[in-house]
Every structure is written in C-alpha cells, then in structure tokens.
Amino acid sequence: MNTKLIHEVRAVKNKKELGYIIKAQRISERVLYDTLKYLKEGMPEVEVSNFIKKSFIKYGAPILSFPPIVAFGKNTANIHHLVPTKNKLKKGDILMFDIGCTVNHYCSDMTRTYFLGEPSKKQKKIYINVLEAQNRAILKIEKGERNAKLIDKAAREFLNKKFGVKKFAHGLGHGVGTVIHEWPNLKPKSEDIIPVGCVMTVEPGIYLKGFGGVRIEDMVLITPNSCRNLTKIPKDLDSVILK
C-alpha cells in the first residue's frame, strides 16, 4: 500500500473518530475559559502554561497534542514559542495561546490571541486583518473549494497586500487526526486536494519581530458541499479584549 493512499485513508474521519476530535476540542475550550479567568497582570508565561497542563489533567485529558504555547508581548512574534518564559503579563500586551489535547489518541488544535486592556491601533489592525484572512479561507472552503493551494492563497494574498510577503511565514493549515500535523496541507505549493470527511486547521498569522503577532486557528470538518467549524470560542475583536 503506498504512503499516499495511507494518508488519504487516515485523513477521512468516521463518526467515532470525529467524536473524539470534537470532545478533545470541547475540553480545550473549557481549559482556555478557565485560563482566561485565572490570568492576572504580572503572571509569567511559565505559570500560565503549568495551569493549562494541570487543567487538562483535571478534565481527564492528560495527554496533550503538543506542549501548550503561551506567549505574552513581543514573544507572540515567535511563530512557535515552544518554551514558556518568565516574561510577565502586563497591560497592553498581546497574549497568544495555542493548545490542544487528545481523546483516545485523536488530537485537537486551537489558537486564540487576546489583548490585555484596550489594544493599540496597530494591534487592532493586525487582529482584524488576520481574522478577515481566516474568514476568506473558510468562505472558500464553504463554497466547495478543495484545492489546498487555492484555499491558502485566499488568506495569503490578502495578508501579503496588507503587511508584505514575509510576515505570514507558515502554511495556512494542516490535517488533524491521531497526530497533530497530518496530510493534507494548506500551503502555497501544496498539490493536495482536500477530501470530504477530513478535519483541517485554518490558522493564518502575522508576526512582527520586536512588536508581537496574531494567530487565529480553528478546526473545520470538510463536508460534501461546505464545511463545519468545530471551534466554538468567540474570536471577534470585542471578545478578545480582556478588561
């Protein structure tokens, strides 16, 4: 059996597999809500990261899809800020959380970006445009587009026009299953055609070194003529401003 065929078979989720992914996502959402309540000015990233890990254990999902990404301030400009630091949360900071857990080996994956206090004009601009890029890509999928390259292009061209070509420096998304990154891939040069029944992330981002970054990531299920967003945490600008 060739690898491509294995990838394609794995990509399509049956009802049971999809149920595990959704359950893992609901747990992640609960953990994120708890984390937002726990947050206080002056807390270091590492403390918040530890709280997230403990919360997953509390909700019966001790095996994570990947170590939680917790970034405050300028650290949000690191695409994969894998090791939380002693960097403390302060007013005016951008906060980024990229988290996921597993249920019966099936992964969830979600990123949300927040602001502590009223965001600056520049922070707002980045956020609104990243959200618009995500909406454009999801709309493309909703209208039945299955060519990975064209879905990526819908978000990338929009962001490139706003911020220049080097600021969105990763693929738009990937398949999710028993591993966190599986076939297919939403990338500029991807030849993949997305099959029905596949769960994909859609995660555009803008990263400005020395300033900060924004990434918004949802998981969507590809349906015969559209898609279904499996991520239920609000992401409109008002919802992401932490008072």
Q: Tell me which DSSP letter residue 89 carries.
A: P
Beta-carbon neighbour count of residue 62 at 10 Å? 12
Span 146-176, pLDDT tens digits: 999 999 999 999 999 999 989 999 999 999 9
Question: Could you tell me which residues are beta bridge partners of residue 113?
Answer: 96
b vs e for 167-176, b when ≥16 Cβ sit within 10 Å of the residue's Cβ? bbeebbbbbb
Average pLDDT of the chain, as a whole number: 97
pTM for this predicted structure: 0.97
Given a contact cutoff of 8 angstroms between Cβ atoms, the answer to whether 75 and 91 are in contact is no
Beta-carbon neighbour count of residue 2 at 10 Å? 7
CATH number of the domain residue 35 falls in: 3.90.230.10
Alpha carbon 234 to chain centroid distance? 13
Asked whether the bond before 224 is cis by omega within 30 degrees of 0, the reply is no
Q: Domains in the chain: how many in total?
A: 1
Span 210-226, pLDDT tens digits: 999 999 999 999 999 99
- Whether residue 1 has pLDDT greater than 80: no
Coil, strand or helix at 242: strand
Across the range 28-57, mean pLDDT stands at 98
Beta-carbon neighbour count of residue 118 at 10 Å? 11
- Whether residue 3 has pLDDT greater than 90: no
107/115 Cα distance (integer angstroms): 27
Q: Which of 4-13, 66-75, 108-117 has the lowest mean pLDDT?
A: 4-13
Residue 83 exposure: Cα atoms within 13 Å on the Cβ side: 2
Report residue 241 as tokens.
């401003």
Give CA separation, 243 vs 31, 77, 117, 214, 240, in Å: 19, 22, 5, 18, 9
214/95 Cα distance (integer angstroms): 9
> Residue 208: pLDDT band by 50, 70, 90 thresholds?
very high
**DSSP string for residues in 148-200:** HHHHHHHHHHHHHHHH-TTSS-S-SEEE-SSSSSEEEEE-TT---BPPTTBEE
Residues of the domain holding 62: 3-242
Report residue 141 as tokens.
């999928």
Report residue 202 as tokens.
């859609």
The gap between the terminal CA atoms of the chain, to the nearest Å, is 55
